[in-house]
Structures are given as structure tokens and as C-alpha cells.
Amino acid sequence: MSDFQTQLKKGLYTGIKKGRGSFVWICKVVVPVSFLVALIQWTGWLSQLDFLLHPLMSLINLPAAAALPIITAVVVNFYAAIAIMAVLPFTVGQLTLIALFIMIAHMLIMEGMIQHKSGFNIIKATLVRITAAILTVLIVSQFLGDTSQSIVLPADLTVHTPFIEVLKSWTIDILGLCGRIFIIIMLVMMVLESLQSLGWIKYLLKFFQPFMRILGLSNQAVTMWVTAAGFGLLYGGAVITEEAKKGTLTRDDLEHLHISIGINHAIVEETALFLALGLSAFWLLIPRFVIAIIPVHTYHAIQYLKSKVLHK
């Protein structure tokens, strides 16, 4: 057996082993949290709590009805929010702002736990994403005309589904989700470990170096950034956590990374879903990209100034 085949076999074996372990722990997070969220959704508490966001909706130039898809995305999931957006009579401008908010701040409990597991405090992660979502929507709303006009909610949104139907739907959804997570984790882990074993990972690092500099991130964060950007925090969470365990990033580098990917992840999938609603690719991509860069470089500047003051 050639050296190439030996190293490839070693990388694949290591990837399968790590992927299996990562899949188990991520399911321990995803399954109970998703069931709890499904239960909360079934009780109707979400629609009763949306009044809490009404003042915020006014602040960011959105109608009160926008609170429903936003709180659904924040607590339940991204896809449930899109389903609500598709049936409500929002304008294109309103849909754009809601889309931006929920692309940045969705599934905060589940994704926050994944970020926490890989080295970024869940409270800090949540505050960063909510703040970034509010600021992004507030700024972009200035370019989209009047987006605060009220809409009328359809009556069928209030229909109560029997619990057994909710349970059946949740079971099918969670099995599908876990299946997708398993496939993605195994494939990514096998590819990454094979590249590492063959010594090819350095080419990936070199290719993305200029982009990492723009984002304000360490070159060693390439693998984790690409995983989050391509697959998101949920699907890529196990890979990100596994990479964080290697200790190649300092604590500050890890925080910079989590700020960036918390704001801007799953770029292709999320953008594609909203393009299907007829929204502009420019408004879906550019503001999120910019708002992910600003806090990281601001963090760098603050740390630099602190070091200068301390050394005086």
C-alpha cells in the first residue's frame, strides 16, 4: 500500500471516529431542546408573548405583526419563521428586514449551546447576535422606504393543532434533522481529517488567508469559518467544537471567530431560501457581511488600545 493510501485511510478512519462521537453529543443537545421548543409552540405561548416585541418592532421600523416570525425564529427555528412569512401579507421591504433579523438571530438556545460548547459563552453569543440583528435592520430600514405600515393577520394562524399531530410532526422532523446532521458531520470530518493526514490542509489555509484578514480572523480559524459559512452553526457545530479542542486558536481568536460566524453563517442556504421569496441578494448578503466585520475589528482596536494603555 502506497504512503498516499495509508495516510488517506488513516484520515478517513480518524474522521469517522470523530464524526461518530460528535454526532452523539450534538444529538444530546438538539433532540431535547427541539422537543421543548415544539411543546412551547404547541401551547400557544409564542403568539401570546409576541406583544413583548411590539415596542422593538416599532423601533426598527417594522409592523407589530413582524414579531411573530421573529420570535418564532429566535425560539423555534429558521424554517418555521419562513413558513409564517410566506403566508403573511408583508411588503418586500418588510420581508427583507425580517429576513435580515432572523438570518442573524435564530435558534438562539440551540445554536447558543453549540457555541458555548466550543468556547464562547452562550449569554455573550446571544447578546452579540440580537444586538447585531437590531442594528442591521435599523440601518437597512433607512434605505427601504416606509416599512412600518401595519398588516392584518389571517385568522387560520390561530388554529390549535392536536398534540398527537404535533408529536408525529416533531418526530419526523427530528429524525430528518438528525439524519442530515449525521451525513454532514461524517462527510466534513472525513474530508478534514484526510486533508490533515495528507498534509493538504495548508493549501486551504493559504487560499483563504486574504479573506480571513478582511474578516479580522486568525488564519487558523479557516476550517471553522468555512464550516460555519457553508453548513451553519447547527450542522457545522460538531466540526467547529472538534476543531476548537485542538487548541490552535487563542481565547481571543476564538471569540473573534464566534462573533463573526454567529452573525454570518449558512450563507448559501439561508440566502437561497429568501431569494425564493423574491428578495434582493444584495440586501440579504452585503449588510450581514459588513456587520460581521465591524465588531471583530472594533474588538481588535479595543484590545490594541488596552495593551497600549497598560504598557504606559
124-141 residue pLDDT tens: 999 999 999 999 999 999
- For residue 158, the model assigns a pLDDT of 52
- Measured from the Cβ of residue 40, the count of other Cβ atoms closer than 10 Å reads 14
Amino acid at the residue 131 = T
* CA 229/CA 161 separation, integer angstroms: 35
**Number of structural domains in the chain:** 1
Is the C-alpha dihedral spanning 98, 103, 105, 106 positive or negative?
positive
- Measured from the Cβ of residue 214, the count of other Cβ atoms closer than 10 Å reads 10
- Measured from the Cβ of residue 7, the count of other Cβ atoms closer than 10 Å reads 16
Provide the residue range defining the domain that includes 210.
3-310
Q: Measured between alpha carbons, how far is residue 226 from residues 64, 81, 188 in Å? A: 36, 25, 11
- Measured from the Cβ of residue 79, the count of other Cβ atoms closer than 10 Å reads 14
Spacing of C-alpha 259 from chain mean position: 11
- For residue 176, the model assigns a pLDDT of 86
* CA 59/CA 244 separation, integer angstroms: 38
Here the cell at position 235 is 450542522
Collect the ranges in the chain with pLDDT lower than 70: 1, 41, 44, 46-53, 152-160, 310-312
Please, are residues 78 and 99 in contact by the beta-carbon 8 Å criterion?
no
